[in-house]
Structure 1
Amino acid sequence: MTIRVVMAGATGWVGKALIPAIATQADMTLVGAVSRSAAGRDAGAVVGGPDNGVTVSASLVEALATASDVLVDYTRPDVVKDHALLAISRGRHVVIGTSGLGATDYAEIDAAARANRVGVLAAGNFSITATLMKRFALMAAKYVPDVEIIDYASAGKPDAPSGTARELAEALAEVRQASTVRPASEVSGVPATRGAAVGAGEGVQVHALRLPSYILSCEALFGLPDERLTIRHDAGSSAAPYVAGTLLAIRRVQQITGLVRGLDALLD
């Protein structure tokens, strides 16, 4: 059975790589694309390839007028939640690659997906190696209680922390032991320089760095007396690492009911 896909964020960094990738998959077909800046144009031509017969829509409402199975969203933090809820209400499964959503947002999306009996797969990073970084960090957190995260991104990234760092911090907060580090609330000087606690309970301290020349990197730093462990993922300058993971999510999301967070849930 062919999976009919709508791509929201068709002219974005990842969208431009996903549209030609979907065209090469025997079990997928692109039936819709969304980009206000490219509305009315052919989706294939917009991303620098041959025409594919799919006209780019200005809004998701327009794109969902065509029968489809899965919405893939790589748009912006301020629109992704509304996109997901709209697609869910129309009976579509959703793959969310856009970062910037919090626990409350995900809880609302999960409830809507369960009510409509569709699946949603959201990941802060669809790269296989970034997913392995998360898995290895979770393994380490079971043995080393003190961990903090440094989140690197370009100067113009609109959200902080990144989806990768936020998802990692929330997952680590669930499995780590009690920290031995002085709480940020007890620090004198400028406590905000200790970063922000992300996740349940005491959370995990996350420090978001935003500077020119950085693409995306995430470090989980673990400390014990007289020894340290750093687990780091660095992204390159292209969107290629995110394509394979997103294609896997498109194939698997229809087997889910409700929300699943993290590509690592699919690796096994």
Structure 2
Amino acid sequence: MIKVVVAGFKGKMGSTATKMVLDNENFTLVGVLDPIVEQKNLSGIPEFSFADVPIFNDKETMVQTIDADVWIDFTIPDVAYENTRFALENGIRPVVGTTGFSEEGLKELTELSLSNKTGGLIAPNFAVGAVLMMQFSAKAARYFPDVEIIELHHDNKLDAPSGTAIKTAEMIFEERGEHRQGHPDEKESLAGARGADYKGMKIHSVRLPGLVAHQQVQFGSIGEGLTIRHDSYDRSSFMTGVALGCNKVMELEKIVYGLENIL
């Protein structure tokens, strides 16, 4: 049995991850973390009334009280970075779905994981379909170098563009290199109309209530177009990847970035 803790269990993704761990016969939920929850046990929260699991308000007390193998984190970028560093320092393998990590932060965490020989996974998207969408897009970019990315998320998402969009752009860049698109004299009558620019490709972010997580990668060429799209209609779509990550990090000795690297 893999002993798991969940940070950010009150959020929508954290709550879904908590339910997944409780329902998975290979996992044992040994604790959850939230800095402001007053209840001391999950059984005091209606949706988890069946679960006898302690709630901790600070991570120092948590690691002194329980023994954990894996740390699932769905918090916010600044908190997730500190949580991931703390988990690695205490020999707990992080599985992180929070996006917005800087390149410098990822490098520091990877170096720490190597020095501690503690595996972990940071993934912009845990939906298997989203990973396939990124891989298909990278392959298509060899033949369709002109591409734009449109990502759509709920209106409470804090970072823009999404981690998935950035990861997709990075994977496309690896295949096609830097490539300038559009008319060289193009002018925006309204600043930002053409979106963010990454190595010559445009990324557009949409934030609206009712959305969950969606991305469209649109390619254009002479006389034809190709659209690769993935839609997550429910947060449960991410849990197959989270569960897979929890199992795989037990075999790793460093941080891995991207679910595609453990599939």
- TM-score, normalising length from structure 1? 0.89
Unmatched 5+ stretches in structure 2: none
The corresponding residue for 1:258 is 254
TM normalised by structure 2 equals: 0.91
Aligned CA distance change for structure 1 residues 150 and 204 (closer, same or farther; 3 Å): same
Aligned to 1:68: 68
Alignment match, 1:20:
19
Match of 2:124, as an amino acid? G
Residues 108-145 of structure 1 deviation map (CA, whole Å, 9 limit, x = unaligned): 11111111111121111111111111121122112221
| Corresponding residue of 1:97 | 97
| Structure 2 counterpart of 1:87 | 87
* Count of residues paired in the alignment: 261
When the two chains are superposed, the root-mean-square deviation of aligned CA atoms in Å is 2.0
Q: Which residue of 1 aligns with 2:51?
A: 52
Please tell me whether the aligned partners of residues 178 and 200 of structure 2 are also in contact (alpha carbons under 8 angstroms): no
SS across alignment from 1:100: coil
Preserved CA contact (<8 Å) 1:19 1:47: no
Q: Match for 2:61: what amino acid?
A: E
C-alpha distance in 2 between matches for 1:20 and 1:180? 45
Aligned residues with identical type, % of pairs: 31
Matched, 1:164 2:160: no
- Counterpart of 1:123, as a letter, is A
Task: Give ranges in structure 1 of 5+ residues lacking alignment.
Answer: none
Q: Is the 8 A contact 1:42 1:51 kept in 2?
A: no
Q: Supply the distance in 1 between the matched residues of 2:151 and 2:142 (Cα, whole angstroms).
A: 21
Alignment of 1:106-145 (within 5 A): 106-145=106-145
Secondary structure of the equivalent of 1:179?
coil
Stretch of structure 1 that moved more, 172-181 or 86-95: 172-181
> 1:221 maps to what in 2?
218
For residue 6 of structure 1, what is the aligned residue in structure 2?
Answer: 5
**CA shift in 2, pair 1:243/1:204, >3 Å:** same
